[in-house]
Structure 1
Amino acid sequence: MTDAITPHPFAFPDAALEDLRDRLSRTRWPDRETVDDWSQGAPLARMQGLIDYWRDAYDWHAAEARLNALDPSTTRIDGLDIHFLHLRSPEPDAVPLVLTHGWPGSVFEFMQAAPLLADPRAHGGDPRDAFHVVIPSLPGFGLTEKPTETGWTPERTAHAWVELMRRLGYDRFVAQGGDWGYAITNELGGIGAPAVQAVHFNMFPVFETMEAVDAQEERALKRLRDFKENESGYQIEQTQSPQTIGYGLNDSPVGLAAWFYEKYEQWTDHGGDPESLLSRDEMLDNITLYWLTATATSSARIYWQSMANWQEREIEVPVGFTLFPRDIHETSERWVKERYPTLVHYNEAPKGGHFAAWEQPESFTEEVRASFRHTRQPL
């Protein structure tokens, strides 16, 4: 075993991009939906506009340049090459922070928030709120190696993150996550001190067995029912048959784009048009990363691996939580406090959905700063 950390920039060959454009130009389109809304999925006209832009105007090299500015590197942990971005703060007392994405996300979720977190002085903030920011890609996502065997659970991933942070010189750190990043950050909180000093979540799973005592909690349970009835098909398929859906997603860039584009429409706080919140370039940055790394199938397997049997951990270190109003799960402070008695920060943001850091990077940054301010000390 070696602790070596090796630079690993994003550098996909032009041939891969040419192949992508060729596939896009040869798309066999379905017929138009028979409704005038999104109730049958991503509308044909919206998809054709997105794909025309992807083929003719989108610039992946600009995205690569942004990624490569954040010291992309790889290190081998527990038999797997873990890829990550690392943005060291110029502030000497900065606190190490690991940010964990989910599905269908990636390190792109944090590209705008990371500089704000690392160098608040340069962005009009208090330098005492600075973090050294580490953003790993989950196993089977991005440039992290694809597991060739079962067993890469949130628990195993969380322990890999502890080792990653140790190799970077961070024996103590704080952690943040939503979606599958919530599951992994929950595990990190369960590991706790001395390595993990505190955690912050921007998602809180709600269950049908929870009891509602006010209008907010009733609304949260209704949102959960609506999700299960109208938006959970992807989850069922990826939990039951990730390999089967993977053939289509791995072979058709349009199929992959539609699979993700629907989630952007359903889960973001956009007020009617997802492209008014996340630009086509931002959406395609994430979609193109999945395409070029051929990780549609390997990333979907996290549902098969862990959806049915993962269990939340009790957490003794300080917990922070921010509710973004258009997330998949809504909640209440009472529910969060019941599950996490060590809650030190709770807030309800005015805007934002499931991809909080991506949608509202400034608000997300302020929430992370406020949460960890309760326990901050030079680590």
Structure 2
Amino acid sequence: MRVLMIIDGLPGGGAEKVLLTIAQGMIADGHRLSLFSLRSVCDYTLPAGIHYQVVADTCRVPWRKLSELGRRAKKLDSAVIEAEDQDGKFDLVISHLHKTDRIVARSRALDPGRVWFCLHGMFSPSYLGHRRGFSRWFKRYKIGRVYRHRNITAVSRAVLEDMTGEFDVTPAKSAVINNPFDIGNILHMAAEPCDMAGQEYLIHVGRLHPHKRHDRLLRSYARTGIKTPLMIMGQGSDTELAALTALARELDIADRVIFKGFTANPYPYIKHARLLILSSDSEGFGNVLVEALICQTPVVSTRCPGGPAEILTGELARGLAEMSDESLSEKILTIFENPPHIVPQMLEIYDIAAISRKYAALAER
């Protein structure tokens, strides 16, 4: 089968990493995979066997924003027509991220029946949360217009329901396909040496961004009274880091909070941690929760809109907290003192091979 993935560049983000993992799995299954990047940025090593092509917009006129979507759709169409003339029609096309979706929705060369828009995150908190009145209505209208009566796949049920409910979107077809994980590779990387091995600590892994709610994380940790250090692994702006450092001093926990910054391989740190904590206001899926469980590290997460409640089921649901400092601190203490048993077999549903087959099956729907 011939598959085309389209995305607006490959900076070091989660959705981009998911796309490449899916591509890796589909190539391993014998599918021919092409990737069109609508910008030249690429911070990842591409899987072997992928056909990678940059379809960049080179227009630099001052009023270029006014015609951007239509202009970039035409460039995409030219690339699609050329590729299909050379090697035949694409059987499946998957568009990733909203900026890309807006361009792909205007394509005239792609068969809408073969195109699936992959939703990686919760749209309403990101696009509507800070808007009121006409601004909110107009944003809802513009987003809904992109996805209405189109094929949609989402990384969690909550993401799909957010789109269909909050934006009044009725898809032509829909599917929920969770994010894929190369479990063998994660375990291999987690086995690398770690300077924290043998030490007791809690960990949070995620970029320093307001929706990750590190303020809630620090206040909840302070409320627990736990003396075990808390490591915060992730990068962000100097302003955000300074604000969190000041909050840690204010809460009198600065001596046991470690701001680790970005680490290319976080898995050894996750593996050796006593507990991983997620404190977000929303998560499209919650990759780090699955990654921690693969490493046999217990997790606590807010029951925020998105994927965490779909990941943490059964006994693992004991780690779900309401979105308050009090509830999160209680769950941290509960799981710290009485962690759940993690069964590796329960994570096989997220393995790269199983997820890639689900994406391939979209071509037959």
TM-score by length of 1: 0.28
Greater gyration radius: 2
